[in-house]
Structure 1
Amino acid sequence: MRPARPAAVEPRHFRRVLGHYPTGVTIVTAIDANGEPAGMAVGSFTSVSLEPPLVAFLPAKSSTSFPRIRTAGSFCVNVLGAHQEELCHAFAARGGDKFAGVAWSPAPSGAPRLHGVAAWIDCDVESITPAGDHYLVVGRVRHLDGTGDALPLVFYRGGYGRFAPSSLITDRTGS
C-alpha cells in the first residue's frame, strides 16, 4: 500500500507557521558585471560545512537584484546588527540606488563589505541550484570576520528585533 499523498500546504499558512522560527538578517553584496555594487536583503542564510568552509543563501527567483549578484562569481554576506534595521529596509526595496549614503569598503573579493555590521563572510560562488521558487546558492568562504560586539538584527513573526544571549544579559547586569 502506498502512503497517502500529503495535503496541499497553503502559502500564507506556511509563511505564518515558519515565522515562528527566528532568522538573522543579512545583506548579500557583490560587484556586478558593470563594476557597480549590487545588494539584497536576505533572511535565508546558513552555514553548510566546516570542511570545506561553505555557507548558503536562498534568493527568490523573482529577485531583481540576484541576477546582478549571480554574474559576479563572488559575494559578501553582511550580518546586520540590531541598529541596522533601516539599512535592511533599504536593501529589501526594489529599484533605486541601494548604496546611496551607505559606507562600505571592498572585501578581499571586491564585494562591498558594509561598515558597522556584526560580521562579514566573503565567498566565491560554489554552486547555484534551483529550489522551488528560489535558488540555493552555496558559497565557499574565502575570508570572514566578526567586527564587533553588535547584537544581531533578528526577524521573527513579521517584525524585527534583537537577540542577546543570556550570558551577555547576566554579564551586563553583574548577576
Structure 2
Amino acid sequence: MQKSQLTDLPSALAPDFDPRQFRNALAQFATGVTIITTKLSDGRFIGLTANSFNSVSLDPPLVLWSLGNRAQSLPVFQQNSHYVINVLTADQQALAEQFASRAEDRFEGVEFELSRTGLPILKGVAAWFECHNRSQYPEGDHVILVGEVERCAYNEQSADTQNRPLIFHNGRFLT
C-alpha cells in the first residue's frame, strides 16, 4: 500500500502513555547490532552503531535502517551515494561501544578492508551489506534510509554456536 492510499484512513489517536513507557516497551524487543560506515567529503571515514537494521525486499535486494534527526552524521549519510552495514558478532561488543561513543576518530585501532566503493568493511563481522543509498523517508524524529544492496557477504562461522550474534536488549548488549 502506498502512503498516498493511507490518506483516507482516520488519524491516529493520541498516545495514552508517556515517552519513558514507550522506550521501556520498545526495549523489550531484542535486536541485532550493526555498525554503518561511509566517508566524509574529505575522505575520512565515519561510522556509527545502529540497531535499527531490517530487511525490506529480496527482489530488488533492499534493507533499511534509521538515524535520528539530531545526529551530526545524518547529512553525511543522506548525501553519500553508498554506505556499508556491518553486522556484529558477540565478541565485537567493544567495537559497538567504540562506534557508539563520541570519540573523534572511531576507527582508531579498527581493522577493516575497503569495499568496491572504498568504504570500510570491518574485519570479523558476521555479515556485511554494501548499499546504494536508494531512498530516504523522514518519519517522526528519525530518517529511514533504504539501501539497495549491491554486494554482501557473510561469515559461515557465524552459524556456529561459537560465533554468536551481538544482541541489544533492554538497554544493554547481550550475547
TM-score of the pair, normalised by structure 1: 0.86
Corresponding residue of 2:140: 132
Shift of 1:152: 0.8
**Gapped runs of 5+ residues in structure 2?**
1-9, 158-162
Partner of 1:39: 47
Q: Which residue of 1 aligns with 2:3?
A: none
Distance 1:28 1:3 in 2: 34
1:68 positional shift: 2.4
Secondary structure of the structure 1 residue equivalent to 2:91: helix
Distance 1:6 1:105, change over 3 A: same
Structure 1 counterpart of 2:171: 158
TM-score by length of 2: 0.86
Identity %: 37
- In structure 1, distance between residues paired with 2:30 and 2:101: 21
Cα shift at 1:95: 4.1
Correspondent of 2:68 among 54, 60, 67: 60
SS in 2 for 1:122: strand
> Structure 1: which 5+ runs fail to align?
163-175
- Once the two structures are superposed, residues 68-96 of structure 1 have per-residue CA deviations (whole angstroms, 9 ceiling, x without a partner) of 23322100000000001111111111241
Q: 1:10 to 1:84 in 2, by over 3 A?
A: same
Measured after TM superposition, the shift of residue 151 of structure 1 is 1.3
* Structure 1 stretch displaced more, 68-77 or 133-142: 68-77
Number of residue pairs matched by the alignment: 161
